[in-house]
Amino acid sequence: MRAHVEIRRLTKRFGETVAVEDLSLEVQKGEFITLLGPSGCGKTTTLRMIAGFVEPDRGEIYLNGRFLNNVPAHRRNVAMVFQSYALFPHMNVFNNVAYGLKLRKKSRQEIGKRVREVLELLNMEGMEKRYPHQLSGGQQQRVALARALVLEPEALLMDEPLSNLDAKLRVAVRNELKELQKHFGITTIYVTHDQEEALAISDKIAVMKEGILQQLGDPWEIYRHPVNRFVADFIGTANLLEAVVEKSGPGFVELGIAGEHILISREGLDLAIGQKILINIRPENLRLFKEPTHVMSEITVKGRIKRNTYMGRTIQYWVQMKDGTELIVEEHAPETVLDGEIYIGFDSKHIEFVSMERKCWV
């Protein structure tokens, strides 16, 4: 079966600036995909090309098998929710939401019915007569969403729709957003530079950097198996360490990491002795002990705590190892603050081998 939205080798440059380079993506019907990446990596430009506001230099866009490149923006039937919401300041809520339906020449009764339905769904009933400047940020956001959803578009595009909301509201609205998306079963392309938001909300995440797609995968894959240093570092907090293969055999490998020799038993590794590789171990998989432990499969190395950041639910330590490398360790529900000489323990299964090929800058 063909994907619902299909992007093939899309490229856009603004003068010297590469906004999007050779981007290919497939989005299945009803899927929620997120474009994630730092500021300026081409997320908005990608959306704007799909919506038809920017013409790509190269590449094709298909919606439901229909070639979109030649279709003018106003006939594409992909609804966009803008970062600024872009509500019409001179129209009240009802007319904002009804605008697209009026353009589609629906009858008055139908317009009234559909606008009321969608506003009800978004808990905005009774606000029809208000103007955008009389609404809170969260309410404006809902109107923007209602205006897009009421058209039952073939695909929904959202450009950082939550970035103008405060942290609490952002979490609440993002859960609602996900519910609604499921309710309508609408194919959605979402843009954010907030990795936590992306992990929480997406079926699939496309991580971008400088216009180039780095990795496409579901939240598990992206977090657990980042393909390169950039992805590992951008998603969550990473302890990226360079390692040298010291011994290698069937089912095991010994690595030299930060002056320690660490034996890892794992199947299916194919590493040559002397090879340099990059590994990652997440702060939440590290534990601190006052004394060396002797738990099976637990590896222990010595270190010294440099500083900490207390965040209530968790505490983060910066621990210096004997060759000077710093590791971040995160503990949950801390009861005391540790200090001085310390042992770091971890399970070797939590060591990820960050792939060294594929657009990787080690």
Partner 1 sequence: MDMRNLKIRTDFLSISIIAILATVLVIFVLLPVLKVFTYPSFEEYTRIIAKARTIRAVKNSLFITCLSSITATLIGFLFAYAMNYTKIPGKRLFDGLILLPLLSPPFVVALAWVLLFGGHGLITRQLLGIRGSIFGWHGLWIVQSIAFFPYSYLIIDGVLKGIDPNLEYAAKNAGANGSHVFRTVTLPLALPGVLNALVLIAIYVLADFGNPILIAGGWPVLPTEIYGRISGHYDLSGAAALSSLLLLPTLLLFILNRTLLRGKSFITVTGRGEGLERPMAGPFTQWCLFAFCALLTSVVVLVYGTLLAGAFVKIWGINWTPSLENFQVLKGVRGESLLNSLFFACFAGLGAAIFSIFASYFIYKKTFSGKRVLDFLSLLPAAIPGVFLGVGFLLSFNSPPLVLSGTAAIIILALMVWNIPLGYQACTAGLEQIGAEIEEAAMNLGANPIRVFKDTIFPLLRSPFLSGFIMGFLRAITNLSIVIFLISPGKSVATVEILDLIQYAELGPAVALTVVLFTIALAVVGIARLLLRWSFGELKGLKR
User: Which residue lies nearer to partner 1 by CB, 193 or 229?
Assistant: 193
Q: Least distance to ligand ATP from the beta carbon of 59, Å?
A: 15
**Pick from 316, 213, 299: nearest CA to 264:** 299
**20 binds partner 1, rule: CB under 8 A:** no
Q: Least distance to ligand ATP from the beta carbon of 41, Å?
A: 4
Q: Which of 51, 63, 155, 165 binds partner 1 (CB under 8 A)?
A: 51
Q: Least distance to ligand ATP from the beta carbon of 207, Å?
A: 12
**192 binds Mg ion, rule: CB under 5 A:** no
Binding-site partner at residue 45 among Mg ion, partner 1, ligand ATP, none, CB < 5 to 8 Å by type = ligand ATP
**54 binds partner 1, rule: CB under 8 A:** yes
User: Which residue lies nearer to ligand ATP by CB, 39 or 297?
Assistant: 39
Helix (H) or strand (E) holding 185: none
Residues 192 and 277: their CA atoms lie apart, in Å, by 31
Write the burial class of residue 295 (CB in 10 Å: 0-12 exposed, 13-18 middle, 19+ buried).
exposed
Torsion angle in degrees (nearest 10) through CA of 223, 227, 229, 231: -50
**Pick from 51, 74, 57: nearest CA to 19:** 57
Question: Which residues, including other chains, have CB under 8 Å from residue 227's CB and lie 6 or more apart?
Answer: 214, 215, 354, 355, 358, 360
Binding-site partner at residue 41 among ligand ATP, partner 1, Mg ion, none, CB < 5 to 8 Å by type = ligand ATP
User: Which residue lies nearer to partner 1 by CB, 42 or 226?
Assistant: 42
Q: Least distance to ligand ATP from the beta carbon of 205, Å?
A: 14
> Which residues sit opposite 305 in a β-bridge?
319
User: Which residue lies nearer to partner 1 by CB, 42 or 219?
Assistant: 42
In the complex, which residues of this chain contact ligand ATP (CB under 6 A)? Answer: 14, 17, 19, 37, 39-45, 193
C-alpha to C-alpha distances, 158 to 81, 176, 191, nearest whole angstrom: 5, 14, 6
Q: Interface with partner 1 by CB under 8 A: which range of 47-55, 58-66, 170-178, 342-350? A: 47-55
User: Which residue lies nearer to ligand ATP by CB, 61 or 101?
Assistant: 61
Q: Which of 1, 16, 39, 74 binds partner 1 (CB under 8 A)?
A: 74
**182 binds partner 1, rule: CB under 8 A:** no
Q: Interface with partner 1 by CB under 8 A: which range of 16-24, 75-83, 134-142, 254-262? A: 75-83
**Pick from 322, 317, 313: nearest CA to 338:** 317
User: Two tokens at 108?
Assistant: 């008055």
8 A C-beta contact, residue 278 and residue 362:
yes
- Footprint of partner 1 on residues 81-140 (CB under 8 A)? 82-84, 86-90, 99-100, 103-104
Q: Least distance to ligand ATP from the beta carbon of 81, Å?
A: 14
8 A C-beta contact, residue 336 and residue 315:
no
Q: Least distance to partner 1 from the beta carbon of 159, Å?
A: 9
Q: Mark residues 9-48: x for contact with Mg ion by CB under 5 A, - for none.
A: -----------------------------------x----
Can you list the pairs that 131-137 forms with residues at least 24 positions away whose Cβ atoms lie under 8 Å? 131/89, 131/90, 131/91, 131/92, 131/93, 132/85, 132/87, 132/88, 132/89, 132/93, 132/96, 133/89, 135/93, 137/164, 137/165, 137/169
Interface residues toward Mg ion, by CB under 5 A: 44
